[in-house]
Chain A
């Protein structure tokens, strides 16, 4: 056997005696393990995650606009069902409660229009020469179109009732 240097002496020896005692020495150095084996700890997302950041809250509000819009459409369905009662029995939805609900739904619908149309510039990458059309320009065009379409539809709805 070749002479061992001082550096080798600090390494675990590979003779039979050392190999037999090695596991005990290792376990003596290790902290006692309790419960689960040593694996990475998985973290769950709490139910209230959306309250942690303003951006999360705004996201939830944006998604909630769909509820407001669909809720108002259900009221419109009620209106459509009522017309089946004939000319004498037809009673359109009205009253302060209906108007109040509609105002809330309108606010949500407008918020949907604002958020979605202002994001149109982010979705679309329209080449213009060797550049792209600025996102803000696309959003402005969308808002302009919203104003035109709203006036047109509003005009039709009122013209149909006049």
Chain B
């Protein structure tokens, strides 16, 4: 709560006591996603995005190898983790940066950024688990 006395200074500052487990879990999710993503993301972009199109036999260059890999439920699960980490990192970082750039609503920005990332993850799950 912010109050002002006659000199205009803030009379008393009483921050809210914790622990705030929701904020803690959101951060723990980010730390996990960021560290897992740091380990696994570069390899995918390097092989599938750069070397694959240049001729290295990446699994997603041909229908046969791609479909065979995706028929393995462990691969599906792993790729879902890959998408989850990437989208969660985006949501968390956007949540902070957008507010630091002047958009005022913590809840509003959070709902939009985490909501969009959840939509992305749902699409990924749908494509992974209903595809060939």
Contacts and interface: CB of A to CB of B under 8 A. Distances in A.
A43 interface: no
A interface SS class: helix
Given A81-B127, A102-B49, A112 B38 contact: yes
A126 interface: no
B53 A150 contact: no
B70 A83 contact: yes
B58 to A, nearest CB: 5
A154 interface: yes
Interface string A17-58: 000000000000000000001111000010101100000000
Interface in A125-162: 145-146, 149-154, 157-158, 160-162
Contact of B120 (A70, A75, A93, A99): A70
Contacts of B31: 123
B7 interface: yes
| Contact residues on A (Cβ < 8 Å of other chain), bracket | 35 or more
B4 interface: yes
A112 B34 contact: yes
User: In this complex, which of A39, A69, A95 has the most chain B Cβ atoms within 10 angstroms of its Cβ?
Assistant: A69
Contacts of B56: 158, 161
A60 interface: yes
Interface of A: 37-40, 45, 47, 49-50, 60, 63, 66-67, 69-70, 72-77, 79-81, 83-84, 86-87, 90, 92-95, 98-99, 101-103, 105-106, 109-110, 112-113, 116-117, 120, 123, 145-146, 149-154, 157-158, 160-162
Given A70-B90, A93-B53, A113-B41, 16 more contacts: A39-B8, A40-B9, A60-B97, A73-B82, A73-B87, A77-B83, A79-B60, A90-B62, A92-B52, A99-B49, A103-B49, A113-B39, A113-B42, A116-B34, A153-B43, A153-B44
21 contacts: A40-B7, A45-B102, A66-B86, A69-B41, A72-B49, A77-B123, A77-B127, A80-B128, A83-B131, A90-B62, A95-B53, A102-B53, A105-B49, A106-B42, A106-B49, A109-B45, A123-B31, A150-B39, A153-B44, A154-B43, A161-B59
